[in-house]
Amino acid sequence: MLKIIKMELKRGFNSIGTILSLLIGFACIGYKNYILISHDIHMDDLIEKSGDTSYYMFNKGNFYNRWIVAYIDPSMLYLFYFLGIIVALPYGISYYNDRKRGIIKNICTRVDKSKYLKAKFASVFITGGTVAVIPVFIDLLISKLAYPYDFINISGTALCGRTKWLIFIIDHMYIAAFLFLVLWFIFGGLLASISLLVSIIADNIFTIQLTPFFIMLFLFYIPTYFPVKYNKYFPYYFLRIHNDYIPTIILLVISSIAFFLIYTNIEKRKDVL
Protein backbone atom coordinates (compact mmCIF):
# COMPACT_ATOMS: atom_id res chain seq x y z
CA MET A 1 0.00 0.00 0.00
CA LEU A 2 2.76 2.37 1.02
CA LYS A 3 4.66 1.56 -2.13
CA ILE A 4 1.81 2.52 -4.42
CA ILE A 5 1.13 5.72 -2.43
CA LYS A 6 4.83 6.59 -2.79
CA MET A 7 4.69 5.93 -6.50
CA GLU A 8 1.53 8.03 -6.94
CA LEU A 9 2.96 10.87 -4.88
CA LYS A 10 6.13 10.79 -6.94
CA ARG A 11 4.08 11.00 -10.11
CA GLY A 12 2.03 13.85 -8.64
CA PHE A 13 4.94 15.97 -7.44
CA ASN A 14 6.98 15.33 -10.58
CA SER A 15 4.23 16.52 -12.87
CA ILE A 16 4.53 19.78 -14.78
CA GLY A 17 1.20 20.77 -13.21
CA THR A 18 2.83 21.06 -9.78
CA ILE A 19 5.35 23.56 -11.10
CA LEU A 20 2.61 25.49 -12.92
CA SER A 21 0.46 25.52 -9.77
CA LEU A 22 3.29 26.80 -7.65
CA LEU A 23 4.05 29.47 -10.24
CA ILE A 24 0.40 30.63 -10.25
CA GLY A 25 0.37 30.61 -6.42
CA PHE A 26 3.60 32.59 -6.23
CA ALA A 27 2.30 35.05 -8.83
CA CYS A 28 -0.83 35.67 -6.71
CA ILE A 29 1.23 36.15 -3.54
CA GLY A 30 3.82 38.20 -5.44
CA TYR A 31 1.14 40.54 -6.78
CA LYS A 32 -0.34 40.99 -3.31
CA ASN A 33 3.04 41.82 -1.82
CA TYR A 34 3.94 44.08 -4.74
CA ILE A 35 0.77 46.11 -4.05
CA LEU A 36 1.61 46.22 -0.34
CA ILE A 37 5.19 47.32 -0.89
CA SER A 38 4.15 50.02 -3.36
CA HIS A 39 1.58 51.14 -0.78
CA ASP A 40 4.34 51.33 1.85
CA ILE A 41 6.52 53.40 -0.47
CA HIS A 42 3.57 55.70 -1.19
CA MET A 43 2.89 56.09 2.57
CA ASP A 44 6.54 56.92 3.26
CA ASP A 45 6.39 59.62 0.57
CA LEU A 46 3.13 60.93 2.00
CA ILE A 47 4.55 61.15 5.52
CA GLU A 48 7.68 62.85 4.24
CA LYS A 49 5.69 65.42 2.24
CA SER A 50 2.88 66.07 4.76
CA GLY A 51 4.86 65.61 7.96
CA ASP A 52 1.85 63.83 9.45
CA THR A 53 3.54 61.14 11.49
CA SER A 54 0.29 59.65 12.80
CA TYR A 55 0.37 57.33 9.77
CA TYR A 56 3.22 55.53 11.47
CA MET A 57 0.90 53.92 13.97
CA PHE A 58 -0.16 51.40 11.35
CA ASN A 59 3.37 50.11 11.12
CA LYS A 60 3.28 48.60 14.58
CA GLY A 61 1.89 45.15 14.80
CA ASN A 62 2.53 41.54 13.99
CA PHE A 63 2.75 39.45 10.85
CA TYR A 64 -1.01 38.77 10.80
CA ASN A 65 -1.43 42.38 9.61
CA ARG A 66 -0.03 41.42 6.23
CA TRP A 67 -0.59 37.73 6.05
CA ILE A 68 -3.24 36.63 3.57
CA VAL A 69 -5.38 35.04 6.28
CA ALA A 70 -5.95 38.39 7.98
CA TYR A 71 -5.13 41.08 5.45
CA ILE A 72 -8.02 42.70 3.60
CA ASP A 73 -7.38 44.09 0.13
CA PRO A 74 -8.58 43.18 -3.38
CA SER A 75 -5.00 42.16 -4.23
CA MET A 76 -5.25 39.14 -1.94
CA LEU A 77 -8.37 37.83 -3.67
CA TYR A 78 -6.46 36.38 -6.64
CA LEU A 79 -5.24 33.42 -4.61
CA PHE A 80 -8.87 32.65 -3.74
CA TYR A 81 -9.96 33.03 -7.35
CA PHE A 82 -7.29 30.69 -8.67
CA LEU A 83 -7.18 28.24 -5.79
CA GLY A 84 -9.44 25.83 -7.67
CA ILE A 85 -7.00 25.76 -10.59
CA ILE A 86 -3.91 25.68 -8.38
CA VAL A 87 -4.99 22.59 -6.44
CA ALA A 88 -6.33 20.63 -9.43
CA LEU A 89 -3.43 21.23 -11.82
CA PRO A 90 -0.84 18.92 -10.28
CA TYR A 91 -2.73 15.66 -10.15
CA GLY A 92 -6.46 16.31 -10.43
CA ILE A 93 -6.79 14.82 -13.91
CA SER A 94 -4.44 11.90 -13.25
CA TYR A 95 -7.20 9.34 -12.72
CA TYR A 96 -8.86 10.36 -15.97
CA ASN A 97 -5.49 10.14 -17.74
CA ASP A 98 -4.74 6.74 -16.23
CA ARG A 99 -8.05 5.43 -17.53
CA LYS A 100 -7.74 7.08 -20.91
CA ARG A 101 -4.18 5.91 -21.55
CA GLY A 102 -4.81 2.47 -20.12
CA ILE A 103 -2.24 2.85 -17.34
CA ILE A 104 -4.90 1.78 -14.87
CA LYS A 105 -4.95 -1.68 -16.49
CA ASN A 106 -1.23 -2.08 -15.95
CA ILE A 107 -1.47 -1.01 -12.33
CA CYS A 108 -4.60 -2.97 -11.42
CA THR A 109 -3.18 -6.21 -12.78
CA ARG A 110 -0.33 -5.85 -10.30
CA VAL A 111 -2.03 -4.41 -7.20
CA ASP A 112 -5.47 -4.55 -5.69
CA LYS A 113 -7.74 -1.95 -7.27
CA SER A 114 -8.99 -0.63 -3.93
CA LYS A 115 -5.36 -0.02 -2.91
CA TYR A 116 -4.78 1.88 -6.13
CA LEU A 117 -7.91 4.00 -5.58
CA LYS A 118 -6.91 4.77 -1.99
CA ALA A 119 -3.41 5.70 -3.13
CA LYS A 120 -4.83 7.85 -5.91
CA PHE A 121 -7.10 9.73 -3.53
CA ALA A 122 -4.28 10.20 -1.00
CA SER A 123 -1.86 11.47 -3.63
CA VAL A 124 -4.38 13.90 -5.17
CA PHE A 125 -5.27 15.13 -1.69
CA ILE A 126 -1.64 15.57 -0.61
CA THR A 127 -0.43 17.24 -3.82
CA GLY A 128 -3.46 19.57 -3.85
CA GLY A 129 -2.98 20.43 -0.19
CA THR A 130 0.74 21.02 -0.62
CA VAL A 131 0.44 23.39 -3.58
CA ALA A 132 -2.30 25.28 -1.72
CA VAL A 133 -0.28 25.66 1.44
CA ILE A 134 3.15 26.60 0.00
CA PRO A 135 2.14 30.09 -1.30
CA VAL A 136 0.39 30.80 2.00
CA PHE A 137 3.51 29.76 3.91
CA ILE A 138 5.70 31.93 1.67
CA ASP A 139 3.32 34.84 2.29
CA LEU A 140 3.72 34.27 6.03
CA LEU A 141 7.50 34.49 5.66
CA ILE A 142 7.23 37.69 3.61
CA SER A 143 4.82 39.18 6.17
CA LYS A 144 7.27 38.30 8.91
CA LEU A 145 9.92 40.34 7.09
CA ALA A 146 7.64 43.38 7.22
CA TYR A 147 6.95 42.87 10.92
CA PRO A 148 10.07 41.23 12.34
CA TYR A 149 8.99 41.92 15.92
CA ASP A 150 5.69 40.44 16.97
CA PHE A 151 4.38 43.49 18.62
CA ILE A 152 1.04 42.92 20.25
CA ASN A 153 -0.87 46.09 19.71
CA ILE A 154 -4.30 45.25 18.44
CA SER A 155 -5.36 48.76 17.50
CA GLY A 156 -5.19 49.10 13.73
CA THR A 157 -4.80 45.35 13.26
CA ALA A 158 -7.18 42.59 12.22
CA LEU A 159 -6.88 40.82 15.57
CA CYS A 160 -9.35 41.35 18.39
CA GLY A 161 -11.21 39.43 21.06
CA ARG A 162 -14.33 38.83 18.97
CA THR A 163 -14.21 35.05 19.10
CA LYS A 164 -12.38 32.41 21.12
CA TRP A 165 -10.36 31.52 18.04
CA LEU A 166 -9.17 35.13 17.68
CA ILE A 167 -8.26 35.18 21.37
CA PHE A 168 -6.30 31.98 20.79
CA ILE A 169 -4.48 33.61 17.84
CA ILE A 170 -3.49 36.59 19.99
CA ASP A 171 -2.23 34.29 22.77
CA HIS A 172 -0.49 31.69 20.59
CA MET A 173 0.40 33.32 17.27
CA TYR A 174 2.67 30.67 15.86
CA ILE A 175 0.57 27.69 16.90
CA ALA A 176 -2.41 29.42 15.26
CA ALA A 177 -0.32 30.09 12.14
CA PHE A 178 0.53 26.39 11.97
CA LEU A 179 -3.15 25.49 12.42
CA PHE A 180 -4.01 27.86 9.56
CA LEU A 181 -1.53 26.08 7.33
CA VAL A 182 -3.15 22.75 8.30
CA LEU A 183 -6.54 24.23 7.44
CA TRP A 184 -5.33 25.40 4.03
CA PHE A 185 -3.74 22.02 3.42
CA ILE A 186 -6.95 20.13 4.17
CA PHE A 187 -9.07 22.53 2.15
CA GLY A 188 -6.63 22.40 -0.77
CA GLY A 189 -6.70 18.61 -0.67
CA LEU A 190 -10.47 18.55 -0.47
CA LEU A 191 -10.82 20.93 -3.41
CA ALA A 192 -8.39 18.85 -5.46
CA SER A 193 -10.30 15.67 -4.68
CA ILE A 194 -13.38 17.23 -6.31
CA SER A 195 -11.57 16.60 -9.61
CA LEU A 196 -11.42 12.93 -8.74
CA LEU A 197 -15.12 12.86 -7.92
CA VAL A 198 -15.91 14.59 -11.21
CA SER A 199 -13.75 12.13 -13.13
CA ILE A 200 -16.16 9.39 -12.01
CA ILE A 201 -18.89 10.84 -14.21
CA ALA A 202 -17.20 13.21 -16.63
CA ASP A 203 -15.23 12.22 -19.68
CA ASN A 204 -13.75 15.57 -20.57
CA ILE A 205 -10.39 16.84 -19.40
CA PHE A 206 -11.54 20.46 -19.11
CA THR A 207 -14.60 19.55 -17.06
CA ILE A 208 -12.44 17.61 -14.62
CA GLN A 209 -9.73 20.24 -14.46
CA LEU A 210 -11.97 23.27 -14.14
CA THR A 211 -14.73 22.01 -11.83
CA PRO A 212 -12.82 22.90 -8.60
CA PHE A 213 -12.21 26.37 -10.06
CA PHE A 214 -15.90 26.96 -10.76
CA ILE A 215 -16.92 25.47 -7.42
CA MET A 216 -14.47 27.80 -5.68
CA LEU A 217 -15.85 30.78 -7.60
CA PHE A 218 -19.38 29.69 -6.74
CA LEU A 219 -18.49 29.37 -3.05
CA PHE A 220 -16.81 32.76 -3.26
CA TYR A 221 -19.85 34.64 -4.51
CA ILE A 222 -22.69 32.68 -2.97
CA PRO A 223 -22.28 33.98 0.65
CA THR A 224 -23.73 37.33 -0.45
CA TYR A 225 -27.11 35.55 -0.80
CA PHE A 226 -26.99 34.13 2.73
CA PRO A 227 -27.38 35.86 6.08
CA VAL A 228 -24.04 37.00 7.52
CA LYS A 229 -24.13 34.42 10.33
CA TYR A 230 -23.78 31.61 7.76
CA ASN A 231 -20.75 33.16 6.06
CA LYS A 232 -18.38 31.24 8.27
CA TYR A 233 -19.29 28.08 6.35
CA PHE A 234 -17.78 29.46 3.13
CA PRO A 235 -14.09 29.23 2.20
CA TYR A 236 -13.36 32.93 1.91
CA TYR A 237 -14.31 33.27 5.58
CA PHE A 238 -13.16 30.03 7.11
CA LEU A 239 -9.76 30.12 5.41
CA ARG A 240 -9.20 33.45 7.08
CA ILE A 241 -9.22 34.57 10.69
CA HIS A 242 -12.96 35.25 10.74
CA ASN A 243 -14.05 31.76 11.57
CA ASP A 244 -14.33 29.27 14.37
CA TYR A 245 -11.50 26.88 13.76
CA ILE A 246 -12.72 23.65 15.32
CA PRO A 247 -16.14 23.42 13.58
CA THR A 248 -14.45 24.29 10.28
CA ILE A 249 -11.78 21.64 10.57
CA ILE A 250 -14.38 19.04 11.62
CA LEU A 251 -16.51 19.99 8.62
CA LEU A 252 -13.54 19.69 6.27
CA VAL A 253 -12.38 16.35 7.68
CA ILE A 254 -15.91 14.91 7.45
CA SER A 255 -16.19 16.16 3.86
CA SER A 256 -12.80 14.62 3.01
CA ILE A 257 -13.84 11.25 4.45
CA ALA A 258 -17.16 11.44 2.58
CA PHE A 259 -15.39 12.25 -0.70
CA PHE A 260 -12.97 9.39 -0.12
CA LEU A 261 -15.77 6.90 0.56
CA ILE A 262 -17.84 8.06 -2.41
CA TYR A 263 -14.86 7.90 -4.78
CA THR A 264 -13.48 4.53 -3.68
CA ASN A 265 -16.88 2.82 -3.39
CA ILE A 266 -18.14 3.93 -6.78
CA GLU A 267 -14.90 3.30 -8.66
CA LYS A 268 -14.22 -0.05 -6.99
CA ARG A 269 -17.32 -1.53 -8.65
CA LYS A 270 -16.33 -0.42 -12.14
CA ASP A 271 -14.51 -2.83 -14.38
CA VAL A 272 -11.16 -1.61 -15.68
CA LEU A 273 -10.17 -4.42 -18.03
Partner 1 sequence: MINLRKIFKKSHIIVTLILIFFICYTIAFINARHKEAKPRVKYHKADELVEYGGYEYTFEKSTMYTTKEIMDKYGVDKNSLTAYTILSIDSKYDAKFMITRIHCKRVSEEVNPPEFYEFENRYVICCPEMQLTKLNLPKDYKKVKELKVGEETTWDEIAYINNCNIDKDLWKKLDKQTFYIQLSDYEGHEYMDRIRVLN
User: Which residues make up the interface to partner 1 (CB under 8 A)?
Assistant: 14, 53-54, 56-57, 59-60, 141, 144-146, 148-149, 151-155, 160-164, 166-167, 170-171
Question: Shortest distance, CB of residue 199 to partner 1, whole angstroms?
Answer: 28
Question: Shortest distance, CB of residue 154 to partner 1, whole angstroms?
Answer: 6
Residue 31 identity (one-letter amino acid): Y
User: Nearer Cβ to partner 1, position 74 or 227?
Assistant: 227
User: What is the separation of C-alpha 12 from the centre of its chain, rounded to a whole number of angstroms?
Assistant: 17
Question: Shortest distance, CB of residue 155 to partner 1, whole angstroms?
Answer: 5
User: Nearer Cβ to partner 1, position 57 or 175?
Assistant: 57
Question: Shortest distance, CB of residue 189 to partner 1, whole angstroms?
Answer: 21
User: Nearer Cβ to partner 1, position 62 or 199?
Assistant: 62
User: Nearer Cβ to partner 1, position 6 or 164?
Assistant: 164
State the Cα–Cα distance between residues 138 and 36, nearest whole angstrom: 15
Question: Shortest distance, CB of residue 59 to partner 1, whole angstroms?
Answer: 6
3-state secondary structure 178-235: HHHHHHHHHHHHHHHHHHHHHHHHCCCHHHHHHHHHHHHHHHHHHHHHCCHHHHHHCH
Helix segments in the chain, DSSP class H: 2-14, 16-50, 77-91, 94-101, 103-108, 113-146, 164-171, 173-201, 205-221, 235-238, 245-269
User: Nearer Cβ to partner 1, position 155 or 224?
Assistant: 155
